[in-house]
Amino acid sequence: MTDLYCDGGVIGANPSTVGGTWAFCIVEAGVRVFQNQGVITPDETLPAITNNLTEMLALVHGLHSLPAGWAGTVYSDSQITLGRAFDGWKWSKIPDWLHHEYQVERARLDWENIKHVLVQGHPTKAELTAGVGLSGRPVSEFNVWCDKACGEAGRWYLELQAECEGV
């Protein structure tokens, strides 16, 4: 069984005029076998980046990295993202291009057999050891990895921006 963990964040305050970050990892038999992370920046059509946008972007990038016909479990600490992707929630304030990319991935995968699990974000070491957070939701080292990868992507982007300004 293959699992997909995904997370997103913003650089600075939400919504961010600086940018946002996303990360995902694919896990097989308890081992991270593939991962990716990145940054999205504002433009004329998207003047600010929200955490809800980056959470969905992480999910879509992760789904795109899975083979056609995949069915497994998606883990996220974003109830809104899981609700939009799996429970028919409204896609307000998510750009049409991202909704389109989601639809492409949904058609490509075995959507009816994909499960989704809402995990608690930012668990303590004790919660990780117990496997469950104070909320009663599961916690995972893989969700922690995604959160850290988002932070790394944001720091990398800010360092790159500082270098470019210094040139």
The pLDDT tens digits for 56-74 are 999 999 999 999 999 999 9
Of 34, 32, 75, 82, nearest in space to 56 by CA: 82
Quick one: pLDDT at residue 93? 92
The Cβ of residue 6 has, within 10 Å, a number of other Cβ atoms equal to: 30
CB 77 within 8 A of CB 44: no
Instruction: Flag whether pLDDT at 1 surpasses 90.
Output: no
Quick one: pLDDT at residue 166? 81
> Domains of the chain (ranges plus CATH)?
2-166 (3.30.420.10)
Q: Rounded distance, CA 136 to CA 139, Å?
A: 9
Joined tokens for residue 76 = 């996220």
Task: Supply the pTM of this predicted model.
Answer: 0.96
Joined tokens for residue 149 = 């990868």
User: 106 pLDDT band (50/70/90 cuts)?
Assistant: very high
Q: Residue 38: which residues within 8 A CB-CB, separation 6 or more?
A: 21, 22, 23, 61, 153
Q: Rounded distance, CA 93 to CA 80, Å?
A: 12
Instruction: Flag whether pLDDT at 153 surpasses 80.
Output: yes
Provide mean pLDDT across the span 6-10. Answer: 98
Quick one: pLDDT at residue 43? 95
The Cβ of residue 12 has, within 10 Å, a number of other Cβ atoms equal to: 13
Of 85, 37, 32, nearest in space to 61 by CA: 37
Task: List the beta bridge partners of residue 160.
Answer: none
Quick one: pLDDT at residue 167? 66
